[in-house]
Amino acid sequence: MSLLQGIAASSGIAIAKAYRLVEPDLSFTKQTIEDVAAETARFEAAMATSISELEAIQKVAERELGAEEAAIFTAHILVLNDPELINPIKDKINTEKVNAEHALQETTDMFISMFEAMENEYMQERAADIRDVTKRILSHLLGVKIVNPSTISEEVIIIAEDLTPSDTAQLNRNFVKGFATDIGGRTSHSAIMARSLEIPAVVGTQEATRQIQDGDILIVDGLTGKLHINPTEELIAEYEAEQQKFEAQKAEWAKLVNEKTMTVDGEHVELAANIGTPEDLVGVMNNGGEGIGLYRTEFLYMGRDQLPTEDEQFEAYKKVLEGMEGKPVVVRTLDIGGDKELPYLQLPEEMNPFLGFRAIRLCLEEQEIFRTQLRALLRASIFGNLKIMFPMIATLDEFRQAKAMLAEEKEALVSAGEKVSEDIEVGIMVEIPSTAIQAELFAKEVDFFSIGTNDLIQYTMAADRMNERVSYLYQPYNPAILRLVKMVIDASHREGKWTGMCGEMAGDELAIPLLLGMGLDEFSMSATSILQARSQIRGLKKSDMAALAEEALQMGTAEEVVQAVKEKLSFITQ
C-alpha cells in the first residue's frame, strides 16, 4: 500500500478500482516476416476483434446518445469491412513480407493523405475517422488496451494526467465514483467539473498515472487530498465509516434544498452558485441554489480554435436563463488573459500576466469580441433574470466605457426590432483595491457589486497566489481584506444597491459568519457548498455576527481573526 498527497478538489470519499485513462503507446517498427499465413491470420484476428468492439460501442452509443450519434460507428465498422482497405493490406503482407502493423499503417496513411488533400472541409475531417480506426486495429495487433471512458461498465476511479472537458463529458456517471489526476489545482477545469458532478476528486498528485496500475484498489479522499493505493482492510473499513458519516451529513443537508436561507433572527441572504457551463445547472438545482452569482463565460471561448459566434453564445446564455426559471443570473463578461489563455487570439506573452492585458482591459481594446458577447447577452435577456457584470474594473472610466458600449448595442438591437429586457442590472467585480477604495463613487453608478476574493486578496497583499514561496500571504481573514469588504458592502447599502461575493471565501465556513455580520447580501459558491452553508447560516444570529465582525475588523492579524471566529462558533454549537 502507498499514499499520494494531492489537492482536495471535490469533497467526499470514493473507494473503487483504478481505471487508467491514458493514451496507449502504439509505436512499432517495420519487420520482415517469414510466415505470411500466420501474419495474415494475426491481421484478420485484430480486425475481427476491432469490429466486435465497435459493435459493442455502437450499441452503448445508440442507447446513451441516440441513433444520430451512433451512426459514425456504423461508418467505422464499414471501414473495417472495406475490401479497398483490407485487400491492399493483405497484398502487402503477402508480397512485401512485412508485419501487419506496417502494412496497415502504410495503407491507411494513403487514405488519410487522400482525404486531407480534398478541398471539402467535411471530407478533410474524415481523415480523423480513419486515424481512429487505424488506432483501434493497431491496439489489437500490439495487444495494448485502448481506453474508451464511455464504455466503462463497473464502478471505477479514473486516473489521468488531466481531464479535458470532452473526457469529463463522456464519463458514465453511474460508474465513475471518483477521479485523481497528475496535474491541476483547485480551480482547474477538472476540479470545477468534479464539484459540479459531485464526484470526489484529488488533483495535482503528480505521480498517479505512474504509480497506479489498472485494477489497483484506490481510496480518493476528497476532503484531505489523500489518494491511497491498495490500502489495508483496516483502512478501507475506516474510510467506509467516514463515507457513511459524510453521506449521512449530506442527507441531513439535503433536507434544506427548498428552504430559504434565514438566520436565527429572521434575516434572509441569497445563496447562489458559480457555474462554468449550462450543464452545471443540474448541480445548482439539486443543491437548492437561489440564483447564479457567477457565470464564467470564458469556458465558451476555451478548448476550441476560434471565437464562439454570437448565436452560439446566445444559445448558451438563453439555456442558463431559462433553466433558472426567473431566478437571478449574474453573467460575467469575458475574463481572459492572466493565467487563462486563448491560443487563437495570439496575445503576446507578458512579464506579469496577472497585472497585464486581461479581462475588461482586453474587451475595451478588442471591441468586436466584447460587442459580440454583449449582443448575445442582450438578445438572451428576455428569457430570464439577467444581470451583467464586468470583471477587473480598476477605474470609473473603464466602467463607463463598458456600460456605454452595452447601451449602444442595446440601442442598435432595439432599433433593428429585436426584443431586449428593459431591466438588466449592470454591476462590476470588485477585485482590484483601487475599486474597493472608491466603492462609494462606484456605488452611485453601478447596480451591484460582486467581490472577487481570489484576485482581491492577491492584489491587496501584492502576492501571486500561484507562487508557493509567498502563498502564506494569501490571507482571506486578514483584517485588511475584511476592511475592504466592509467598505464595499457599506458603500453599496448607502446607495440602496447590493453586494455579493463570488470566490472560495463566500463558501468558507470560517468566513461566512464574518461576511454575514458585515451585511453581505449574496454568497456565490460551488453548488455543492450551498447546502452546508445554508445549514450553517440557519444556526447563526445576524446581530451576533455583526458584533463578531466589528471585533475582527479591529484585530491585527489573520490568526487572531480565525481564533475569534472559532471560539464564537464552538460557543454556538455547544
Partner 1 sequence: MAEKQFTVIDEAGIHARPASVLVSTANKFQSDIFLIHKGRDVNLKSILGVMSLGIGSGEEFAIRAEGTDAEDALVELEKTLQNEGLAK
Q: Which residues bind partner 1 (CB under 8 A)?
A: 71-72, 74-75, 78-79, 81-85, 111, 114-115, 118-120, 122-123, 126, 129-130
Tell which residue, 377, 380, 292, 291, has the closest CA to residue 334: 377
Does 551 count as an annotated binding residue?
A: no
Shortest distance, CB of residue 58 to partner 1, whole angstroms? 12
Write down the catalytic residue from 76, 189, 228, 363: 189
Shortest distance, CB of residue 129 to partner 1, whole angstroms? 7
70 vs 546, beta carbon nearer partner 1: 70
72 vs 441, beta carbon nearer partner 1: 72
Write down the catalytic residue from 76, 102, 363, 502: 502
Does 174 count as an annotated binding residue?
A: no
Shortest distance, CB of residue 78 to partner 1, whole angstroms? 4
Does 454 count as an annotated binding residue?
A: yes
Does 20 count as an annotated binding residue?
A: no
Could you give the CA distance from residue 186 to residue 504 in angstroms, rounded to a whole number?
10
Does 538 count as an annotated binding residue?
A: no
Does 455 count as an annotated binding residue?
A: yes
User: Is there a contact between 100 and 139 (Cβ–Cβ < 8 Å)?
Assistant: no
Shortest distance, CB of residue 113 to partner 1, whole angstroms? 11
In sequence order, what are the beta bridge partners of 450?
Answer: 429, 500
Q: 7 by DSSP, 3-state: which?
A: strand
Tell which residue, 148, 188, 196, 192, has the closest CA to residue 171: 148
Residue 189 annotated as catalytic: yes
User: Is there a contact between 152 and 176 (Cβ–Cβ < 8 Å)?
Assistant: yes
Please, which residues have CB within 8 angstroms of residue 67's CB and are 6 or more apart in sequence?
A: none
Shortest distance, CB of residue 121 to partner 1, whole angstroms? 11
**What Å distances lie between residue 104 and 31, 131, 203, 440, CA to CA?**
13, 11, 38, 71
Helix or strand holding residue 191 (H, E): helix 189-197
122 vs 571, beta carbon nearer partner 1: 122
Residue 502 annotated as catalytic: yes
Strands (E), 199-355: 201-203, 217-221, 226-229, 270-275, 292-296, 328-332
> DSSP string spanning 447-488?
SEEEEEHHHHHHHHTT--TT-GGGGGG--TT-HHHHHHHHHH
78 vs 241, beta carbon nearer partner 1: 78
SS3 string of 416-441? CCCCCCCCCEEEEEECCHHHHHCHHH
State the binding site for Mg(2+): 431, 455
Which residues does the annotation mark as catalytic?
189, 502
Annotation: binding site: 296, 332, 431, 454-455, 465
- Binding positions for phosphoenolpyruvate: 296, 332, 454-455, 465
